[in-house]
Structure 1
């Protein structure tokens, strides 16, 4: 077996690199098209939480947790494969395919007549969303240097936050008016517009090689192991304590198989795979590895907050779905604004360690404050606590990619970013499924027995009753609200524990030099676009551009 190569702390002068591409109008059109894609996925991820009780009631479904889990699973499963495919066929075809999958899944969700059909559509949506997110990170690596990456990561965070902020309002408003299907029907036309933008402007290089040479670089076994293992873990988490007891074979078997599969995947990548999905230079490097672990943990925090916080306002505060969406603006926009500031700070100073340490501390403080929330806590407290934890999440969310990429030569940015997105999306799965499992299990324990007896089908049906809590008679109404408040406190305790684990993982992380160049084999394909667009703007160079295109 080969010994792992040593990790360069900074790019060598002899590396085959070039500076970032010019920031002209075509560059900003690419950035806009990518940001629009992220905006779409953010709306879809966050809007479902506010609308879910109404949707579950409308479809009479018992498996509401799978509405979130299927999306998160699809968003994660094929991300490593997308990284490999983007190296083979280029970035543009992957992004177009991703938008097509997202639109198809949205159409199925909008037309769903059963909960199973909705879950299937959400899974297809997730496949598209995962490919979109992975492609976004890879495209940014192609276009901008790591030193300036913080600013553009902040812009993507702003796009995500705008979508994440309006998502619960849109989802809640449509659910409240009985038109929740339009939450999905609006996506295909936006995807079509964005696909046109991608076709026109996302013209990036693809290094020349035969199809056989490119396919030989695909890690089929690794992708199969990671996809199957992830699916197995999600099944166990979703079934646990709801359909089957936690210690039953139905739950333990998929959990154990999935976790063992992930261990086998890591061992295979380290010692047997050539080339691996996991960048080989990270084998002995704690700085890069901690970046992946922290990405997983902060994504788990973000998913838990985004998905389950609206339930606090709907169940405990008698808020409508649309108003509940407005009430989590403190979380959404504190994340985006602080993320942009953190990205600019990293660009200015080149230091990512201090932002990460401070971000985790702020997240811990915010999570600790959330654990004090009760059903009768004031609105000022619930919003103010959101701003505190949102600021911490925003800092860490943007900064964790820097220790990963700083540990690598820029030629390995694409597979590294695919794995980065996988680790984040895997964190989303745990946030959604673990939060859902807590809600279902704790509601069994905390809801009044007289209330539960009305739902012999199980506590998942009781979850559907959130929209009717305001109409319950006293003292049952307060008892149900307090039950939800007590249940959600356990979720905030989970967030606190995850934040503390993330802070511990940042210990020992080194501060490395940030790259100031990009891989010249990628970036914008000027031979494909310069002549086409220069006729109107630079007539004097028309002949020269034609000569260059013909010679190429």
Structure 2
């Protein structure tokens, strides 16, 4: 009788190494999975960025006033499910979560396309956001199942490229459809793409799920923590969206939801640290500034990215008489500088294993770029506006990729799923602040500074920012220049906000340690078909159980 070790090998078939220092094998199925994940990122990026260029036309078509909620509802929905996705993916597996996310996104898109009122559009955007948040969380978790942290930078760069392509194409697509009067197709095109992506997921996305009873899996769910963070986030968004637009900032209807929301987030953190087992926040991060700073920097970067992506088109439409399509083209400098620099930063981290220096450089570029943006005026040259985009976009691209590393380097690979769910939550929560704060600033500045003769043309009141933009090219001088200058000055305040956030982000990077990057993936996850293709399971627990079963059979 052979030794026990012989029971775990297959002499007739070459056994692949169980060294996972390069993740799972990079065969054609692996690249099909990566393509599917990148397609999901592309879809959500197009949706997030296209609405800005099309929103003036949509607002006029639906005769709506609550236009800020079109962006806020999407950002809120994408944030609400993000923390929950980590636990759910551990219970029912990665693929069902991704398929459900695609269904929600397609459903929300259908509602938006059929919207007859602004409230219906906002509701559809919220459902879209739920799908987008779950998609992004699932993508980050599954990417961690497939590649090691050391090589993650390259693949994060590829995802950033997908985001940038979507971010570049989105405003052009949104502007073109709006300009031709076909803005509803901005939403109707999404369901067929979701269906194609779902087919890709069904065919190729086969990832392992460790065996456990439903009770064991449910015991790992942090229901209270997820409920706290969702309700608190919603309350904060309500306060931000109403502040200075529907109600004064110091009114109870603004302060109450803001205070409740922020206190709720504090309670969430205390609950996670002292009472929750297991927590949404990985236990190591409770004591480690490096990991915690990664989350904070990720949040602040997202505030900047959302502000730039959502509001830069306003500068070209309001101050430069650009059509929605033209405005989309003019922010290519931002979109593609983010993607190209992100890929380069990811490759640099893979080769050097160093993430702290790129992050310092990234924040410096963002500070310089934001400072340059504050000098933009309505009559500034196109060369300046595009060149400044490249500077700040390069910094955002670096930080976009690099914030992942201090987080995951601080924890064991077995805690990746909840850590990545919280990572996506912090990023999406930042998007909320960028969209709502930028919109509130613009509205408040326009309310105070637009010429009275111009405001008299819009009796509906304060929320007129987007509805006024299509009227600007037809105005007579000197009113035309006065309105342009007002928009330019309003955006200057937005860029000052970006500058302040960038300074805080750079300060948060101080004291961050340079940790060694993991060179293996979690053995209990990864590609399910590897056992079929190679006759080998990467799960040590599964292999041990199989060996024990064979021992018992031989003894009997």
**TM bracket, shorter-chain basis:** over 0.9
Match of 2:454 among 451, 471, 479: 451
Structure 1: distance between partners of 2:51 and 2:376:
23
Asked if 2 retains the 8 angstrom alpha-carbon contact of 1:448 and 1:480, the reply is: yes
Are residue 186 (structure 1) and residue 210 (structure 2) matched? no
Matches within 5 A, 1:410-449: 410-449=413-452
Matches within 5 A, 1:55-94: 55-94=58-97
Matches within 5 A, 1:484-523: 484-523=487-526
- Which residue pairs with 2:333 in the alignment? 330
Are residue 30 (structure 1) and residue 20 (structure 2) matched? no
- Which residue pairs with 1:199 in the alignment? 202
SS at match of 2:519: coil
Are residue 293 (structure 1) and residue 293 (structure 2) matched? no
- Which residue pairs with 1:483 in the alignment? 486
- Which residue pairs with 1:9 in the alignment? none
- Which residue pairs with 2:15 in the alignment? none
Structure 2: distance between partners of 1:219 and 1:18:
30
Are residue 169 (structure 1) and residue 159 (structure 2) matched? no
SS at match of 1:518: coil
Matches within 5 A, 1:94-113: 94-113=97-116
Asked if 2 retains the 8 angstrom alpha-carbon contact of 1:364 and 1:496, the reply is: yes
- Which residue pairs with 1:356 in the alignment? 359
What whole-Å deviation, never above 9, does each CA across 1:34-57 have from its counterpart, x for those lacking one? 000000000000000101111101
How many angstroms does 1:474 deviate by? 1.1
Asked if 2 retains the 8 angstrom alpha-carbon contact of 1:21 and 1:524, the reply is: yes
How many angstroms does 1:289 deviate by? 0.1
- Which residue pairs with 1:3 in the alignment? none
After superposition, the CA RMSD in angstroms is 1.6
Matches within 5 A, 1:462-481: 462-481=465-484
How many angstroms does 1:468 deviate by? 1.7
How many angstroms does 1:467 deviate by? 1.1
How many angstroms does 1:18 deviate by? 3.9
Are residue 386 (structure 1) and residue 389 (structure 2) matched? yes
What whole-Å deviation, never above 9, does each CA across 1:55-107 have from its counterpart, x for those lacking one? 10110000000000000000001101111100000000000000000000000
Structure 1: distance between partners of 2:335 and 2:210:
39
Structure 2: distance between partners of 1:461 and 1:269:
42
Task: Give me the TM-score of the superposition, normalised by structure 2.
Answer: 0.92
Are residue 259 (structure 1) and residue 262 (structure 2) matched? yes
How many angstroms does 1:462 deviate by? 4.4
What whole-Å deviation, never above 9, does each CA across 1:261-290 have from its counterpart, x for those lacking one? 000000000000000001111011000000
Asked if 2 retains the 8 angstrom alpha-carbon contact of 1:153 and 1:343, the reply is: yes
SS at match of 1:499: helix
Structure 2 stretches lacking a partner, 5+ long: 1-17, 536-545, 551-556
What whole-Å deviation, never above 9, does each CA across 1:282-324 have from its counterpart, x for those lacking one? 0110000000000000000000000000000000000000000
- Which residue pairs with 2:463 in the alignment? 460
Match of 1:314 among 314, 317, 332: 317
- Which residue pairs with 1:406 in the alignment? 409
Structure 1: distance between partners of 2:356 and 2:437:
29
Asked if 2 retains the 8 angstrom alpha-carbon contact of 1:17 and 1:518, the reply is: no
- Which residue pairs with 2:554 in the alignment? none
How many angstroms does 1:211 deviate by? 0.6
Are residue 143 (structure 1) and residue 146 (structure 2) matched? yes
SS at match of 2:279: coil
- Which residue pairs with 2:247 in the alignment? 244
Change in CA separation of 1:415 and 1:462 when aligned onto 2, cut-off 3 Å: closer
Structure 2: distance between partners of 1:352 and 1:531:
35
Task: Give me the TM-score of the superposition, normalised by structure 1.
Answer: 0.93
Asked if 2 retains the 8 angstrom alpha-carbon contact of 1:270 and 1:276, the reply is: yes
Structure 1 stretches lacking a partner, 5+ long: 1-15, 533-546
Structure 1: distance between partners of 2:243 and 2:341:
36
Asked if 2 retains the 8 angstrom alpha-carbon contact of 1:106 and 1:188, the reply is: yes
Asked if 1 retains the 8 angstrom alpha-carbon contact of 2:149 and 2:520, the reply is: yes
Structure 2: distance between partners of 1:390 and 1:466:
26
Structure 1: distance between partners of 2:201 and 2:81:
21
How many angstroms does 1:456 deviate by? 2.2
How many angstroms does 1:325 deviate by? 0.1
What whole-Å deviation, never above 9, does each CA across 1:174-227 have from its counterpart, x for those lacking one? 000000000000000000000000000000000100011101110000000000
Change in CA separation of 1:263 and 1:186 when aligned onto 2, cut-off 3 Å: same
Asked if 1 retains the 8 angstrom alpha-carbon contact of 2:20 and 2:519, the reply is: no
Asked if 1 retains the 8 angstrom alpha-carbon contact of 2:73 and 2:129, the reply is: yes
How many angstroms does 1:527 deviate by? 5.9
SS at match of 2:321: coil
- Which residue pairs with 2:371 in the alignment? 368
How many angstroms does 1:234 deviate by? 0.1
How many angstroms does 1:526 deviate by? 2.0
Asked if 1 retains the 8 angstrom alpha-carbon contact of 2:443 and 2:465, the reply is: no
SS at match of 1:483: helix
Asked if 2 retains the 8 angstrom alpha-carbon contact of 1:203 and 1:528, the reply is: no
Asked if 1 retains the 8 angstrom alpha-carbon contact of 2:209 and 2:525, the reply is: yes
